[in-house]
Amino acid sequence: MRLSPFVKTRQVFLVLVISFFLTLSVAATESKLPSPLDIETALSFARQHPRARLDLNQQRLIPRRQSLFLNCHDVSYNNTDKIDNQRNRTETPLVKPVDQQKLYILQTFFDVLLADSNLIGINEDMAGAYIAYDRAKTRQEYKQLSELVVAKLEAEYQEVRQQFFSGEAAQRLTRAQLANAINHPNELSSELNPPVLIKPPQQLPDADTLYQQALRDNAWIKQLNSDNNNDVKRLTQMELRQEILELILRLKILAAAKQRAETQSYRRDLDLEMSRSLYDMEVKASLGRSMTLQSKARMEEERIGYCQTLTWSKLNALRGLPLLTPPLQDKKEQSE
């Protein structure tokens, strides 16, 4: 029985992915890390990290690496603003070093999950490109298509194939960054347990209220204010007020972005169902393309959810609270 090009491509993909995760599993057999690794366990390693014992000037000697996929500032502003590396960073000098490391662990944890989702989307794209190329080759054999058309489709397939290997490399890079973030540099986690995400309240707290809470409950800021002169104290308070304002505004934008992403994802689900119906009826349809767009839409939903959780966690850290403390929801929101 001759397999369809779509099935053959999926088998090739599975062999590649299985071989990749088997490589990671070899390291995992000698690892002290649980599998799957959950976010609570990952965060528990922050206190052991060398950065938790460094002052701000020492930490600047070797800056933390930025995420490959998350970039919450760029996501919030639709990537139309110029890339702002400073605002894409999770760490802030306004929280104690161990909380800085926890925020970075949270970011790198989400980045691994996005790297996995990214490869799924690329695989769907590669499958669609291969189907188009394989069908064109068959038609060329029957003199129905020119060599130029087939060469163009093969070039498109090879381009997506390269993206697949780039996506596979991104999986490894993000896992290496997470391993470094949790102070286990030689132990790459093959599997992560996706955490329950924080849902910010519909009615966000007032920025000034959060600012007053931070001044009252953030012991690190109290220490900074007591150890330095009035000019440093004033700069610290200005930076705190600005940071809280930016995080609250980001949450407002992300709420709108989430609605957009959910609408887009629903639309892609409908497109995929339509493509599958046409495919089952042997009508020419770009099923692979529909699957690709659906995967990308779902990945965008994931990214926005991770950014909401990370942004709220940073507000928690600034207020002296545990990172993953959920917001208080009013009765109306709880019933929805």
Question: At a CB cut-off of 8 Å and minimum separation 6, what does 292 contact?
Answer: 121, 124, 125, 128
The Cα–Cα gap between 235 and 212 comes to 16
User: For residue range 31-48, what is the model confidence (pLDDT) as tens digits?
Assistant: 579 999 999 999 999 999
User: For residue range 259-312, what is the model confidence (pLDDT) as tens digits?
Assistant: 888 887 767 667 767 766 665 555 554 665 667 777 788 888 999 999 999 999
What percentage of the chain has pLDDT greater than the value 70? Answer: 79
pLDDT at residue 123, rounded to an integer = 86
Q: For residue 76, which of 243, 261, 250, 199 has the smallest C-alpha distance?
A: 250
Pull the structure tokens for residue 215.
């001044």
What is the number of residues in the chain? 336
Q: Calculate mean pLDDT across residues 86-92.
A: 75
Cβ(316)–Cβ(322) under 8 Å? yes
Domains and CATH numbers, the chain: 5-55+73-335 (1.20.1600)
User: Quick check: 28 pLDDT over 90?
Assistant: no
User: Quick check: 166 pLDDT over 90?
Assistant: yes
Question: According to the 3-state scheme, what is the secondary structure of 32-90?
Answer: CCCCCECHHHHHHCHHHCHHHHCCHHHHCCCCCCCCCCCCHHHHHCCCCCCCCHHHHCC
pLDDT at residue 328, rounded to an integer = 81
Q: Taking the model in full, what pTM does it have?
A: 0.83
pLDDT at residue 170, rounded to an integer = 96
